[in-house]
A and B are shown apart, each in its own frame.
Chain A
Amino acid sequence: MSGDILLVIVVGTALAFDFTNGFHDTANVVATSISTRAIGPKQAVAFASLLNFVGAFISLKVATTIAKGFVDTDAVTTTVVFCGLVGAISWNVITWYFGLPSSSSHALIGGLVGSVVAASGWSAVNGGGLVDNLIVPALIAPIIAFVAAGGSIMLVYRIVGRLRPGPVSRGFRLGELASGGLLALSHGTNDAQKTMGVITLALVANGNISASNFQVPDWVVVASATAISLGTFTGGWRIIKTLGTRIISMDPAQGFAAQGAGAAVILAASSVGYPLSTTHVISGGIMGAGAAKRFSAVRWGVAGNIVAAWGLTLPAAALLGALVYGITTLFGNGVAGPIVVTIVLLAGLAATFVRRLQHAQPAPSTP
């Protein structure tokens, strides 16, 4: 009975993480379309939210990687999953509060690894899986997006460079509706699966699913799709501003190239099961599209701050996951610890949101 209560808490926490993932990450998806005036902010967020939901149903390979690729499933308990999630949510909220783009995916995996290490030691961590499925793709993906967007925009300028700028911009704004939509779809595909993987991991730990016959239940897919979609709809204006206007001022053709490259990289990664950060990839695309036109147009200082935030995410979330595990188990191995931590987390979230709303910036104006 107490195992089932804990499972309900874990599923609720995982869906809350999914919501914060949408809230934190998906706004980045629409930043380019908004800054190039292809679509208004409210419509962009609603559009991205809908396509996030649809995207979650496309593939399940990333969910399998999350559930099996990083930690020894035998060492995972529902309490471990819970603590990893709380570590990840805490890091997401901290970076959201300070307007820092980080990676929800890396926060989730970092939180989980930290929690597992605190529970069972380093031997329960699949180091090869971390390097193979997380670190190498995380390093390569933004570079591919950079090269793809840079190469694309150079070819685009060669094709349409001598045409009248007005119709060209209008055409690429239409194109951005498609490339932005595709980026939102790819985000739903890759990111919602991370929550599906974690919930499935908890179901395995609780004995509801056999580890040898791993399959993501349909209700997990629907619940994860809904949570990330609602998170996206709620929005995250502060991070939109950082990515959409502070890295580089873009024209619609650059926005099209950046979004197209980002979507292609995320979808290709999803098809082979790599959990990527949308923030990493779209930032790489934006910088590539900017640098190809004029190297100095990219504000490399802001880009450097973003890279620093990425580098911090994995170890910081791991530390938080381990810390939460330590605090939770102070109350024993039952449900008391997770209940206390959940109450503290909810109180902390409420306080942060209230404080943030009091200092909220207005949404960018619709063209």
Chain B
Amino acid sequence: MTRAAIDTTALLKMVYSSLLASVFVAIVFSTGLLGAIKASDSRREGRGVAAAAYAALAVVGVLLAAGVIVYGLVLIARKS
């Protein structure tokens, strides 16, 4: 049976990229959700400006989450 050294670069890449991606997507998606719920509440309460600001936050959050996912997939597909 042959032996070889562990490729720590690949291992570290797997560790930090998966940790960063999952935590970042969770944060931006939750922020987007917060924006969507607050926008709906603000609209009901007649606070137009706040509703628009929260709606913008919702759109940015969801777009950022989707953007990171698509970027990650494109990166993986390009490398192979």
Contact = CB atoms under 8 A, between A and B. Distances in A.
Interface of A: 58-61, 122-123, 125-129, 131-132, 136-137, 140-141, 144-145, 147-149, 151-153, 155-156, 159-160, 163-164, 167-168, 171-172, 175, 178, 182, 185, 189, 253, 256-257, 260-261, 263-265, 267-274
Shortest 9 CB-CB contacts between residues of A and residues of B: A128-B4, A152-B26, A127-B1, A264-B22, A268-B18, A59-B80, A272-B10, A171-B33, A159-B30
Q: B-side binding surface: helix, strand, loop or mixed?
A: helix
A127 B3 contact: yes
Contact of B73 (A58, A140, A175, A274): A58
A265 B34 contact: no
A140 B80 contact: no
Given A148-B19, A159-B31, 18 more contacts: A60-B80, A61-B80, A123-B1, A125-B1, A127-B4, A131-B6, A137-B11, A140-B15, A144-B18, A151-B23, A152-B23, A159-B27, A256-B26, A263-B22, A264-B25, A271-B14, A271-B76, A272-B10
Nearest to B26: A152
Interface of B: 1-7, 10-11, 13-15, 17-19, 21-23, 25-27, 29-31, 33-34, 36-38, 40, 65-66, 69, 72-73, 75-77, 79-80
Contacts, number: 147
20 contacts: A59-B76, A59-B80, A123-B1, A126-B2, A127-B1, A152-B27, A153-B26, A155-B26, A156-B26, A167-B36, A167-B37, A178-B65, A185-B73, A189-B76, A253-B30, A260-B22, A264-B72, A268-B13, A268-B14, A268-B21
